[in-house]
A = this chain, B = another copy of it.
Amino acid sequence: MDVQALTFDVFGTVVDWRGGIAREVAALGAARGFSLDWNAFALAWRARYQPAMERVRGGERDFVKLDVLHRENLDPVLTEFGLGHLGAADRERLNLAWHRLDPWPDVVAGLNRLKRDFILATLSNGNVALMVDMAKRAGLAWDAILGAEVVRHYKPQPEAYNLTADFLGLAPERCLMVAAHEDDLAAAAACGLRTAYVHRPTEYDDAPDRPMPDATAFDIVAADFLELAERLGC
Protein backbone atom coordinates (compact mmCIF):
# COMPACT_ATOMS: atom_id res chain seq x y z
CA MET A 1 0.00 0.00 0.00
CA ASP A 2 1.28 3.43 -0.92
CA VAL A 3 -1.16 5.49 1.08
CA GLN A 4 -0.78 9.20 1.80
CA ALA A 5 -4.07 10.04 3.49
CA LEU A 6 -6.35 8.31 5.95
CA THR A 7 -10.02 9.21 5.59
CA PHE A 8 -12.17 8.46 8.61
CA ASP A 9 -15.73 7.56 9.24
CA VAL A 10 -16.55 9.28 12.52
CA PHE A 11 -19.86 8.23 14.17
CA GLY A 12 -19.15 4.84 15.71
CA THR A 13 -15.60 4.64 14.38
CA VAL A 14 -14.05 7.65 16.14
CA VAL A 15 -16.70 8.55 18.69
CA ASP A 16 -19.21 6.65 20.83
CA TRP A 17 -22.44 8.31 19.69
CA ARG A 18 -24.69 5.99 21.71
CA GLY A 19 -22.99 6.73 25.02
CA GLY A 20 -22.67 10.44 24.24
CA ILE A 21 -26.30 10.97 23.29
CA ALA A 22 -27.48 8.94 26.28
CA ARG A 23 -25.27 11.06 28.57
CA GLU A 24 -26.58 14.35 27.11
CA VAL A 25 -30.26 13.41 27.28
CA ALA A 26 -29.72 12.15 30.84
CA ALA A 27 -28.19 15.53 31.76
CA LEU A 28 -31.18 17.30 30.28
CA GLY A 29 -33.48 14.94 32.19
CA ALA A 30 -31.71 15.75 35.44
CA ALA A 31 -32.14 19.48 34.77
CA ARG A 32 -35.80 19.24 33.68
CA GLY A 33 -36.93 16.45 35.99
CA PHE A 34 -37.69 13.62 33.63
CA SER A 35 -36.35 10.12 33.34
CA LEU A 36 -36.45 7.52 30.60
CA ASP A 37 -34.33 4.79 29.03
CA TRP A 38 -31.45 7.04 27.86
CA ASN A 39 -29.90 4.28 25.80
CA ALA A 40 -33.18 3.54 24.01
CA PHE A 41 -33.53 7.26 23.28
CA ALA A 42 -30.09 7.36 21.65
CA LEU A 43 -30.88 4.30 19.54
CA ALA A 44 -34.27 5.69 18.49
CA TRP A 45 -32.75 9.00 17.37
CA ARG A 46 -30.00 7.23 15.46
CA ALA A 47 -32.52 4.89 13.82
CA ARG A 48 -33.90 7.85 11.88
CA TYR A 49 -30.45 8.76 10.49
CA GLN A 50 -30.27 6.55 7.42
CA PRO A 51 -33.89 7.11 6.29
CA ALA A 52 -33.38 10.89 6.52
CA MET A 53 -30.22 10.79 4.42
CA GLU A 54 -31.88 8.43 1.99
CA ARG A 55 -34.34 11.19 1.01
CA VAL A 56 -31.33 13.35 0.06
CA ARG A 57 -29.47 10.53 -1.68
CA GLY A 58 -32.60 9.65 -3.64
CA GLY A 59 -33.08 13.23 -4.81
CA GLU A 60 -36.35 13.65 -2.93
CA ARG A 61 -34.90 16.79 -1.33
CA ASP A 62 -31.82 18.97 -1.81
CA PHE A 63 -28.71 18.39 0.25
CA VAL A 64 -29.01 19.73 3.79
CA LYS A 65 -26.51 19.51 6.65
CA LEU A 66 -26.73 16.63 9.07
CA ASP A 67 -27.49 19.15 11.85
CA VAL A 68 -30.76 19.86 10.04
CA LEU A 69 -31.62 16.18 9.66
CA HIS A 70 -30.79 15.52 13.32
CA ARG A 71 -33.02 18.41 14.36
CA GLU A 72 -35.92 17.23 12.21
CA ASN A 73 -35.53 13.69 13.53
CA LEU A 74 -35.45 14.85 17.13
CA ASP A 75 -39.06 16.06 17.25
CA PRO A 76 -40.79 12.71 16.63
CA VAL A 77 -38.35 10.95 18.98
CA LEU A 78 -39.18 13.39 21.77
CA THR A 79 -42.88 12.81 21.19
CA GLU A 80 -42.34 9.06 21.16
CA PHE A 81 -40.62 9.28 24.58
CA GLY A 82 -43.32 11.53 26.06
CA LEU A 83 -41.24 14.71 25.88
CA GLY A 84 -43.41 16.64 23.44
CA HIS A 85 -43.52 19.52 25.91
CA LEU A 86 -39.80 20.33 25.65
CA GLY A 87 -39.16 23.89 24.44
CA ALA A 88 -37.26 25.06 21.38
CA ALA A 89 -34.12 26.08 23.29
CA ASP A 90 -33.84 22.63 24.92
CA ARG A 91 -34.34 21.00 21.54
CA GLU A 92 -31.62 23.15 19.95
CA ARG A 93 -29.21 22.42 22.78
CA LEU A 94 -29.95 18.69 22.70
CA ASN A 95 -29.45 18.66 18.93
CA LEU A 96 -25.91 19.90 19.46
CA ALA A 97 -25.20 16.83 21.61
CA TRP A 98 -23.84 15.33 18.38
CA HIS A 99 -21.12 18.01 18.48
CA ARG A 100 -20.10 16.87 21.97
CA LEU A 101 -19.56 13.14 21.57
CA ASP A 102 -16.56 11.50 23.23
CA PRO A 103 -13.98 9.48 21.29
CA TRP A 104 -13.24 5.85 22.07
CA PRO A 105 -10.31 5.59 24.52
CA ASP A 106 -7.67 4.72 21.89
CA VAL A 107 -8.56 7.49 19.42
CA VAL A 108 -6.63 10.58 20.55
CA ALA A 109 -3.36 8.73 21.03
CA GLY A 110 -3.87 6.77 17.82
CA LEU A 111 -4.59 9.86 15.70
CA ASN A 112 -1.57 11.66 17.14
CA ARG A 113 0.66 8.78 16.07
CA LEU A 114 -0.94 8.46 12.63
CA LYS A 115 -0.72 12.22 12.04
CA ARG A 116 3.06 12.15 11.93
CA ASP A 117 3.07 10.06 8.74
CA PHE A 118 -0.30 10.61 7.09
CA ILE A 119 -2.83 13.25 6.21
CA LEU A 120 -5.84 12.66 8.47
CA ALA A 121 -9.20 13.78 7.10
CA THR A 122 -12.75 13.19 8.18
CA LEU A 123 -14.96 11.49 5.62
CA SER A 124 -18.13 11.53 7.65
CA ASN A 125 -21.76 12.30 6.96
CA GLY A 126 -21.50 14.84 9.78
CA ASN A 127 -21.35 18.49 8.75
CA VAL A 128 -18.26 20.66 9.04
CA ALA A 129 -19.32 22.62 12.15
CA LEU A 130 -20.24 19.39 13.93
CA MET A 131 -16.84 17.86 13.10
CA VAL A 132 -14.96 21.03 14.11
CA ASP A 133 -16.76 21.37 17.45
CA MET A 134 -16.25 17.69 18.20
CA ALA A 135 -12.56 17.83 17.30
CA LYS A 136 -11.83 20.91 19.41
CA ARG A 137 -13.63 19.48 22.42
CA ALA A 138 -12.02 16.03 22.18
CA GLY A 139 -8.61 16.93 20.77
CA LEU A 140 -8.91 15.10 17.45
CA ALA A 141 -5.90 15.96 15.32
CA TRP A 142 -7.52 16.23 11.88
CA ASP A 143 -5.59 17.85 9.06
CA ALA A 144 -8.78 18.49 7.11
CA ILE A 145 -12.52 18.33 7.69
CA LEU A 146 -14.01 16.86 4.52
CA GLY A 147 -16.90 14.51 3.79
CA ALA A 148 -20.57 14.82 3.00
CA GLU A 149 -21.22 18.53 3.45
CA VAL A 150 -18.16 19.58 1.48
CA VAL A 151 -19.02 17.32 -1.46
CA ARG A 152 -22.79 17.59 -0.98
CA HIS A 153 -23.31 13.83 -1.17
CA TYR A 154 -24.00 11.49 1.70
CA LYS A 155 -22.10 8.23 1.99
CA PRO A 156 -22.30 5.61 0.62
CA GLN A 157 -22.79 7.51 -2.63
CA PRO A 158 -19.57 7.18 -4.67
CA GLU A 159 -19.20 10.97 -4.97
CA ALA A 160 -18.59 11.13 -1.23
CA TYR A 161 -15.42 9.07 -1.59
CA ASN A 162 -14.24 10.16 -5.05
CA LEU A 163 -14.65 13.89 -4.51
CA THR A 164 -12.99 13.72 -1.10
CA ALA A 165 -9.92 12.10 -2.68
CA ASP A 166 -9.99 14.84 -5.32
CA PHE A 167 -10.04 17.57 -2.66
CA LEU A 168 -6.95 15.94 -1.18
CA GLY A 169 -5.33 15.95 -4.62
CA LEU A 170 -4.88 12.19 -4.41
CA ALA A 171 -5.85 9.22 -6.52
CA PRO A 172 -8.41 7.11 -4.60
CA GLU A 173 -5.87 4.31 -4.08
CA ARG A 174 -3.62 6.73 -2.17
CA CYS A 175 -6.41 7.06 0.42
CA LEU A 176 -7.16 4.56 3.17
CA MET A 177 -10.76 4.60 4.37
CA VAL A 178 -10.97 3.82 8.09
CA ALA A 179 -14.33 2.66 9.42
CA ALA A 180 -16.02 0.30 11.84
CA HIS A 181 -18.72 -0.46 9.24
CA GLU A 182 -18.26 -3.00 6.50
CA ASP A 183 -20.77 -1.33 4.14
CA ASP A 184 -18.90 1.98 4.32
CA LEU A 185 -15.64 0.21 3.53
CA ALA A 186 -17.20 -1.76 0.68
CA ALA A 187 -18.47 1.47 -0.90
CA ALA A 188 -15.04 3.07 -0.50
CA ALA A 189 -13.33 0.05 -2.02
CA ALA A 190 -15.68 0.20 -5.01
CA CYS A 191 -14.31 3.72 -5.62
CA GLY A 192 -10.73 2.48 -5.44
CA LEU A 193 -9.84 3.50 -1.89
CA ARG A 194 -7.90 1.14 0.33
CA THR A 195 -9.73 -0.03 3.43
CA ALA A 196 -9.05 -0.42 7.15
CA TYR A 197 -11.66 -1.97 9.41
CA VAL A 198 -11.54 -1.01 13.08
CA HIS A 199 -13.60 -3.04 15.51
CA ARG A 200 -16.12 -1.15 17.68
CA PRO A 201 -18.24 -3.98 19.04
CA THR A 202 -20.09 -1.88 21.63
CA GLU A 203 -21.34 0.75 19.18
CA TYR A 204 -24.97 -0.39 19.43
CA ASP A 205 -24.98 -2.72 22.40
CA ASP A 206 -23.10 -3.13 25.68
CA ALA A 207 -23.15 -6.91 25.22
CA PRO A 208 -22.22 -7.00 21.60
CA ASP A 209 -22.36 -9.79 19.10
CA ARG A 210 -20.70 -7.91 16.23
CA PRO A 211 -18.23 -10.39 14.77
CA MET A 212 -14.71 -9.39 13.77
CA PRO A 213 -14.54 -9.68 9.97
CA ASP A 214 -12.17 -12.06 8.26
CA ALA A 215 -8.63 -10.65 8.27
CA THR A 216 -8.56 -10.81 4.45
CA ALA A 217 -11.82 -8.91 3.93
CA PHE A 218 -10.05 -5.51 4.01
CA ASP A 219 -6.50 -4.25 3.55
CA ILE A 220 -6.23 -3.92 7.32
CA VAL A 221 -8.40 -5.34 10.10
CA ALA A 222 -7.50 -3.84 13.48
CA ALA A 223 -8.90 -3.90 16.99
CA ASP A 224 -8.46 -0.14 17.49
CA PHE A 225 -6.54 2.95 16.30
CA LEU A 226 -3.40 1.92 18.18
CA GLU A 227 -3.26 -1.36 16.31
CA LEU A 228 -4.00 0.53 13.11
CA ALA A 229 -1.00 2.81 13.78
CA GLU A 230 1.13 -0.23 14.55
CA ARG A 231 0.10 -1.93 11.30
CA LEU A 232 0.92 1.21 9.33
CA GLY A 233 4.36 1.42 10.94
CA CYS A 234 3.66 4.57 12.99
Interface residues of A (CB under 8 A from B): 65, 67, 119, 121, 127-132, 135-136, 142-146, 149-150, 167-170
Contact = CB atoms under 8 A, between A and B. Distances in A.
Contacts of A121: 132
A129 B168 contact: yes
Contact of A150 (B67, B150, B169, B170): B150
A142 B146 CA distance: 13
Given A119-B136, A132-B143, A144-B132, A127 B67 contact: no
Contacts of A132: 119, 121, 143-144, 168
5 contacts: A128-B168, A129-B167, A129-B168, A132-B143, A132-B168
Contacts of A65: 169
Which 10 pairs from chain A and chain B are nearest by CB? Answer: A129-B169, A128-B167, A144-B145, A132-B143, A132-B144, A129-B168, A150-B150, A119-B132, A136-B143, A128-B144
Contact of A67 (B135, B169, B170): B169
A127 B168 CA distance: 9
Given A127-B167, A127-B169, 13 more contacts: A65-B169, A119-B136, A128-B144, A128-B146, A128-B168, A128-B169, A129-B170, A132-B143, A143-B145, A144-B144, A144-B145, A149-B167, A150-B150
A139 B168 CA distance: 18
A99 to B, nearest CB: 9
B143 A135 contact: yes
A145 B128 CA distance: 10
A136 B168 CA distance: 13
Nearest to A143: B132
Nearest to A122: B144
